[in-house]
Amino acid sequence: MMPMKARWLLVPGLLLASGLVLVQHSMQAAAEGGSHVAASFQDEPNKPPDEDPASPAEFLWQRPDPSLIRDEPLQVTVPKGLPPLTPKTVVPLGNPITKGKYELGRLLYFDPRVSLDGTVSCATCHNPDKGWSDGGKVSTGIDGQRGNRNAPTVFNTAYGKNMFWDGRSPSLEGQAQGPMINPIEMGEQKHEVIVKRIRQIPAYRETFRKVFGTDVTLDGMAKAIATFERVAALSGNSKYDQYVTGDLKAMNESEKRGMVLFGIRPDPDDEYEPTVELQKAKCTLCHAGANFTDEEFHNLGVGWNEAKKKHDDIGRWAPEPIGQKDDLSLGAFKTPTVRNAVLTAPYMHDGSLKTLEEVMDHYNKGGNPNPSLDEDMKPLKLTSEEIADVIAFMKALTGEVKTTAELLPKALPPGPDGKSPDPVAALTAPGA
C-alpha cells in the first residue's frame, strides 16, 4: 500500500455544531484590500452574534420538538479511495447525515431565494458541472459584482479541517452562513431577513419541522446545506484509487512515473520499476493523505507583488488572532486538494494560473521569491517529460462525479404567490 502521511489520520474532528458561528465571507473583504481584511478579522475571527449565546434569537436556533421529526439516517457509500464518513472526526456529532436533511440541503443549495434579489444560489459559484466551482478567475456575485478570490471547489470538503482559502471558518456549517450575507455574493442582508423570507415558503416550513422539529432557522439551513455538500460532492474511485486498492493496471507508466515524482511509492506488488527519483517534485510535502492536502497554509509566492514589495492578498495572516500572528502566514493559503484538478481550472487563490502546465512551471522555478516563501519551495529541475508525467498523474486523480443534472432539484418549492424560481437560471452568474 502507499504511504499515507500520519498527520492525515490524526487530523482532529471538525468543530461541533458551529451553526451559530458567523463568519464573514471572503470576496468583499478581499476586494477591499489587505489592511481592511486584517482589521475586520484580527480581534475575533469567528465573532458570535450580538446575542446572549446561551439563548440565541429564535431565527438563529430553536429548541427541537422531537415529536415532529420524521426523518431517518442516510447510508452513504463512500467512493473507493476516500475515508469513511466517521461521526465526530468527519461528520459533526451535532449534525448527523439524514435523508430529509440531505434533500432539504439540496433544495437550499440550488435556491436563489437565499440571495437578496433571487438571482444567486450557492450553485452560481459552486456548480457541480464546473468542478463545484464557476470556471472564473474570480467569482461573480449579485449585480455582477466581482471579488478577488477564486471560488474553491466543494469536492471532498467533507474531510476539510478549515474552510476558505485563509481557513477562517472551522466547518462547512459555519462557512455556509458567510456568502448569504456577503454584499457582493448573495447581497447585503441580515440572516434574520433570509430566514423570514424562507419561512414564507410553506414547503420549507413543513420540511424543517420534519427534519429538525423546528421552524426554519439559520442553524437548520447551515446544517442542511453542509450535509448536502458533504455527501453530494464526494469524489473518488479515480484511476489512482483503483490502483491503490489493488488494480495495478489502472494506471499507465507515465501516470506511475508521475506518482513517484509526486512523492508516492508504487505498490510493492507492482512489477513496475520506477525510473525517476521518488518525491523529486516534492508535491506530497503538502498534498498528502487521502484527499491530497495537509490542511495547512503555505506561501508559494502566488499574488506577490514584486513592484510594491507586498502581497496583493495577505491570506492566512488576516484571521490569525492577535498574539498568534505569524509573518510566514503573510500570503499563505490553504493547500487545496489536487483530486479533480483537471475539472477546477483556473488555479490558486487568485485564479492566476490557467492550466496545470502553468502550475507546474510555478513549482519548477521554486515559486515566486518573497519574504514568507515556504521553505519547501525550491527549484525542482524537472525535465519536460517529468512535468508531463506529474500532470498525467494529476489527471489520474480525476474521480467519479455527480452531474448538475443529477443533483438539480426537479422543482423548487413554490413561494406565497404559488411561483417557484427556476434553479437553472441561477447557474449563470448575474450579468454574465
Binding site for ligand HEC (CB under 6 A): 26-27, 30, 120, 122, 124-126, 139, 141, 147, 149, 151-152, 154, 157, 160, 163-166, 172, 175-176, 179-180, 185-186, 225, 281-283, 285-287, 298, 300, 302, 333, 335-336, 338, 341, 344, 347-349, 359, 363, 374, 376-377, 390
14 vs 300, which CB is nearer to ligand HEC? 300
Is the dihedral angle over the CA atoms 210, 215, 219, 224 positive or is it negative?
A: positive
176 vs 260, which CB is nearer to ligand HEC? 176
Whose CB is nearest to ligand HEC? 26
26 vs 98, which CB is nearer to ligand HEC? 26
376 vs 406, which CB is nearer to ligand HEC? 376
Q: Name 181's Cβ contacts closer than 8 Å, sequence gap at least 6.
A: 25, 187, 188, 189, 190, 191, 194
Provide, rounded to whole angstroms, the least separation between the CB of residue 3 and ligand HEC. Answer: 16
36 vs 69, which CB is nearer to ligand HEC? 36
Provide, rounded to whole angstroms, the least separation between the CB of residue 275 and ligand HEC. Answer: 18
What is the spatial distance between Cα 290 and Cα 9, in angstroms, rounded to a whole number?
9
54 vs 432, which CB is nearer to ligand HEC? 432
Query: Residue by residue, what is the 3-state secondary structure of the chain?
Result: CCCCCHHHHHCCCCCCCCCCCCCCCHHHHHHCCHHHHHHHHCCCCCCCCCCCCCCCCCCCCCCCCHHHCCCCECCCCCCCCCCCCCECCCECCCCCCEHHHHHHHHHHHHCHHHCCCCCCCHHHHCEHHHCCECCCCCCECHHHCECCCCCCCCCCHHHCCCECCCCCECCHHHHHHHHHCCCCCCCCCCHHHHHHHHHCCHHHHHHHHHHHCCCCCHHHHHHHHHHHHHHHCCCCCCHHHHHHCCCCCCCCHHHHHHHHHHCCCCCCCCCCCCCCCCCCCCHHHCCCCCCCCCCCEECCCCCEECCCCEECCCECCCCCCCCCCCHHHCCEEECCCCCCHHHCCCECCCCCECCHHHHHHHHHCCCCCCCCCCCCCCCCCCCHHHHHHHHHHHHCCCCCCCCHHHHCCCCCCCCCCCCCCCCCHHHCCCCC
Provide, rounded to whole angstroms, the least separation between the CB of residue 48 and ligand HEC. Answer: 19
Provide, rounded to whole angstroms, the least separation between the CB of residue 52 and ligand HEC. Answer: 26
124 vs 214, which CB is nearer to ligand HEC? 124
Provide, rounded to whole angstroms, the least separation between the CB of residue 203 and ligand HEC. Answer: 19
Provide, rounded to whole angstroms, the least separation between the CB of residue 257 and ligand HEC. Answer: 13
Provide, rounded to whole angstroms, the least separation between the CB of residue 151 and ligand HEC. Answer: 4
Contact at 8 Å (CB) between 245 and 80? yes
Distance of CA 11 to the CA centre of its chain: 17
124 vs 217, which CB is nearer to ligand HEC? 124
170 vs 213, which CB is nearer to ligand HEC? 170
26 vs 217, which CB is nearer to ligand HEC? 26
Contact at 8 Å (CB) between 402 and 232? yes
Provide, rounded to whole angstroms, the least separation between the CB of residue 44 and ligand HEC. Answer: 17
Provide, rounded to whole angstroms, the least separation between the CB of residue 68 and ligand HEC. Answer: 25
Provide, rounded to whole angstroms, the least separation between the CB of residue 377 and ligand HEC. Answer: 6
